[in-house]
Structure 1
Amino acid sequence: MENQNNHPTPETIMKIGSGFWASKILLTAVHFEVFTKLAKNKSMTAQDLKSELGLQCTDRHFFDFLDTLAGFGFLNREGLLEKAQYVNGTEANVFLDKNKPSYMGGILEMMNNRLFGFWDNLEEGLLTGLPQNEAKKGENIFEAIYRDPDKLKIFVHGMTGVQMGGFIGFAEKFDFSNYKTLTDAGGSAGMLSIMVAKHQPHISCVTFDLPPVEAIAKETIQKFGLSDRVKTASGDFFANPLPPADIVVMGNILHDWDEEAKLSLMKKAYDALPAGGAFVVIENIIDDDRKENVFGMMMSLNMLIETGTGFDYTFSDFNKWAKIVGFKSTNILPLAGPTSAAIAYK
């Protein structure tokens, strides 16, 4: 990075190099439910919040913690130190309060509880090409997660959190006028189906995932009062046919797998659709020049950490696979931040 005098500065190097400091501060605030407590109490002093959290650090260090969150824009502050009053910033109030349906902290909880430590082994992942998570003990990552109810809940809510913006964007921006039914393959807690049903009253949805997830999905659907238009179905999308629908969606599914498995899943979606039906993947689609969507490329590295062979991809990659499977045409719809919907029509 260069300043106005064209002299290089280390600003960006230090910002990225120390990025784990900033990350851990936010993840810790989510872990302590700082934003949820502030939303409930409207406004709190540092001392009141520290006392409620039961922290033993010095007051000065807790001021540092809260004021850093304020500097990032997650909190707003009036006053200074002992006299300061803290409230949530706009984004934190919407997305980081556990009592709101828009809560996306699940992915941050998973980052804190699982991924933060695993990413310490990125060097080993690049050296060996092997996953750096629970699979290091010889376990299949999905079998390990789905076997443990606590890990499964963390994983399911994590997947919901990372995709919430994209789900809402899809429900609002996609043209549903010619369709009546939707299957979300790998639907996890059912939030995509819920968002679509909420925004598109004429659409009926099925959220499809492995049997251990069904109870979580049903609980979420009932919470939103949409059991009449959002149903659950259980199965393995490699072993079983997908429930037929006018639209088949996969959110953060294809990137888990290598190219052969990606094509297999796209063929499953193709077979579940009628002529004119739409297959939609909601992912962090990397720009074709591989310059802009850095988050998408980092997510692809996360697939190295998690699966070893999975990877994120460009729209050109998606077009190539759609053509192989037999789809007639494709389109891409930007949704929220780095997330897009890549669409293939049968």
Structure 2
Amino acid sequence: MNPILTQHPTTDPAIILQLRDRQYAAELIATALLRFDFFSWLQENEGTTEEAAAKYFQCENRPFDVLLTLCRAYGFITGGADGLSLTGMGKEHLVEGSPWYLGPYYTPMRDTPIVRTYLHVLGTGKPGNWRAKDTGADWHDSMREPAFAKEFTGLMNCRGLLLGQKLAESITPFLGERTRLLDIGGGSGIYSATLCAAHPQLSATVFEQAPVDRIARSEVGRHGLEDRISVKTGDMFLDEWPEAEIILLSNVLHDWDIPQVREIIIRAAKSLVPDGLLIIHDAFIDDDKCGPVEIAEYSALLMNITQGKCYSVAEYAGILAPLGFEIGSFNPTISKRGFVTAIKK
């Protein structure tokens, strides 16, 4: 087994991840500020509902929810579904006509490719082109191209070692006697590798579509874990999942909108044996959707390039509970990430 799997860093590189994760957040605020004049409108429509605001600006619910979450996290607005209001900072600095209005400071962002993409995403609910290019596919379609899949999987793999090792350590009290792990959308297999390295009783199956499946097989071999980790090729929405005692959804659900999230969890419920363990490992928005700031910023990135966003525990619970899952609490790990467990009853 590759010794790197059992070595652990002594520091938390949260800020390094955050610098990349927040790269689109300023453009989302610029979109609201300069292309919608959202804050001036809210000043004149104090107490408006989220639904009414989304309808007025002709925005789809998922991306508009991300925008409102980011604005709350930054302290620009307050309130929830029943009514939105500007904060003092929002009134003084984001409303046109205020002597301290800072809109002109954002003018250089007004027509950037990312702002144009946000207009598309907010209006249609569909992801923009990868890296805000004028031509090209979105992230989901791009992952079917071998060169892109290799690049992006490598990007996730370097982060996955760090996050996977901490997940493997933190999940220990929840595993019990369970031994069979199914890693859905497991990418390079790094999370299966770190879990198996930390827990000798585990064997794993990484479920991935082509061409990522070939990358996963190569990485599993590089880690010397071929005898404990297999790779099954398939589309998680179309193909049958193997039976499992543990299902890991690591950084998977945040790529999808609520209907697809529900479908994935329904499939997990069918695949898990009774008393099976579901692990949702991800970046989580607070239930009140007021933060954390770092995750609200990351959600803005995800909303731009995928069909998803960062979800709250409450949003997942609303899907899990009707399916008969017993839902655990949020468990923080490292770099503002964490996991939630659910037991199939």
Question: C-alpha displacement at 1:138, in angstroms?
Answer: 6.7
1:232 paired to 2:224: no
Question: C-alpha displacement at 1:247, in angstroms?
Answer: 0.6
Over the aligned positions, Cα root-mean-square deviation in angstroms equals: 3.1
- 1:117-132 equivalent positions in 2, closer than 5 A: 121-129=113-121, 130-132=126-128
What per-residue deviation string (whole Å, max 9, x for no partner) do you get for residues 272-316 of structure 1? 101111111111011223344222212211122212x41111111
Q: Which of these residues, 299, 317, 321, is aligned with residue 319 of structure 2?
A: 321
Verify the 8 A CA contact 1:163 1:251 in the aligned structure 2.
no
* Whole-Å separation in 2 of the counterparts to 1:275 and 1:141: 35
* Whole-Å separation in 2 of the counterparts to 1:282 and 1:226: 22
- 1:3-82 equivalent positions in 2, closer than 5 A: none
- 1:149-228 equivalent positions in 2, closer than 5 A: 149-174=146-171, 175=173, 176-228=175-227
Q: Tell me which residue corresponds to 1:57.
A: none
1:266 paired to 2:268: no
Q: Which of these residues, 325, 338, 341, is aligned with residue 340 of structure 1?
A: 338
Q: Which deviates more, 283-292 or 216-225? A: 283-292
Q: Tell me which residue corresponds to 1:98.
A: none
Question: C-alpha displacement at 1:214, in angstroms?
Answer: 1.9
Verify the 8 A CA contact 1:146 1:152 in the aligned structure 2.
yes
Verify the 8 A CA contact 1:284 1:295 in the aligned structure 2.
no
Question: C-alpha displacement at 1:122, in angstroms?
Answer: 3.5
* Whole-Å separation in 2 of the counterparts to 1:336 and 1:163: 11
Verify the 8 A CA contact 2:118 2:128 in the aligned structure 1.
no
* Whole-Å separation in 1 of the counterparts to 2:327 and 2:142: 38
- Secondary structure of the corresponding residue to residue 310 of structure 1: coil
* Whole-Å separation in 1 of the counterparts to 2:141 and 2:127: 14
Question: C-alpha displacement at 1:203, in angstroms?
Answer: 0.6
Q: Tell me which residue corresponds to 1:46.
A: none
* Whole-Å separation in 2 of the counterparts to 1:161 and 1:305: 22
Verify the 8 A CA contact 2:157 2:190 in the aligned structure 1.
yes
Question: C-alpha displacement at 1:224, in angstroms?
Answer: 1.4
* Whole-Å separation in 2 of the counterparts to 1:291 and 1:311: 15
- Name which structure has the greater RCO, CA cutoff 8 Å, separation 6+: 2
Question: C-alpha displacement at 1:165, in angstroms?
Answer: 2.9
Distance 1:150 1:214, change over 3 A: same
Read off the aligned partner of 1:173 and give its amino acid letter: S
* Whole-Å separation in 2 of the counterparts to 1:214 and 1:343: 26
Read off the aligned partner of 1:297 and give its amino acid letter: A
* Whole-Å separation in 1 of the counterparts to 2:246 and 2:266: 14
Verify the 8 A CA contact 2:281 2:337 in the aligned structure 1.
yes
Query: Matched residue pairs, number?
Result: 242
Distance 1:164 1:292, change over 3 A: farther
* Whole-Å separation in 2 of the counterparts to 1:294 and 1:236: 33
* Whole-Å separation in 2 of the counterparts to 1:127 and 1:144: 21
Question: C-alpha displacement at 1:195, in angstroms?
Answer: 0.3
Question: C-alpha displacement at 1:125, in angstroms?
Answer: 3.3
* Whole-Å separation in 2 of the counterparts to 1:169 and 1:338: 12
* Whole-Å separation in 1 of the counterparts to 2:147 and 2:312: 34
Distance 1:224 1:163, change over 3 A: closer
* Whole-Å separation in 1 of the counterparts to 2:322 and 2:254: 18
Read off the aligned partner of 2:321 and give its amino acid letter: K
Question: C-alpha displacement at 1:317, in angstroms?
Answer: 0.9
Normalised by the size of structure 2, how large is the TM-score? 0.63
Distance 1:167 1:154, change over 3 A: same
- Secondary structure of the corresponding residue to residue 244 of structure 2: coil
Percent identity reads 24
Read off the aligned partner of 1:165 and give its amino acid letter: L
Structure 1: which 5+ residue stretches go unaligned?
1-88, 96-104
- 1:297-312 equivalent positions in 2, closer than 5 A: 297-307=296-306, 309-312=307-310
Question: C-alpha displacement at 1:90, in angstroms?
Answer: 7.3
Verify the 8 A CA contact 2:144 2:210 in the aligned structure 1.
no
Normalised by the size of structure 1, how large is the TM-score? 0.63
Read off the aligned partner of 2:215 and give its amino acid letter: I
Read off the aligned partner of 2:127 and give its amino acid letter: P
* Whole-Å separation in 1 of the counterparts to 2:129 and 2:144: 14
* Whole-Å separation in 2 of the counterparts to 1:318 and 1:90: 32
Distance 1:249 1:136, change over 3 A: farther
Distance 1:192 1:124, change over 3 A: same
1:143 paired to 2:135: no
* Whole-Å separation in 2 of the counterparts to 1:90 and 1:202: 26
* Whole-Å separation in 2 of the counterparts to 1:290 and 1:157: 31
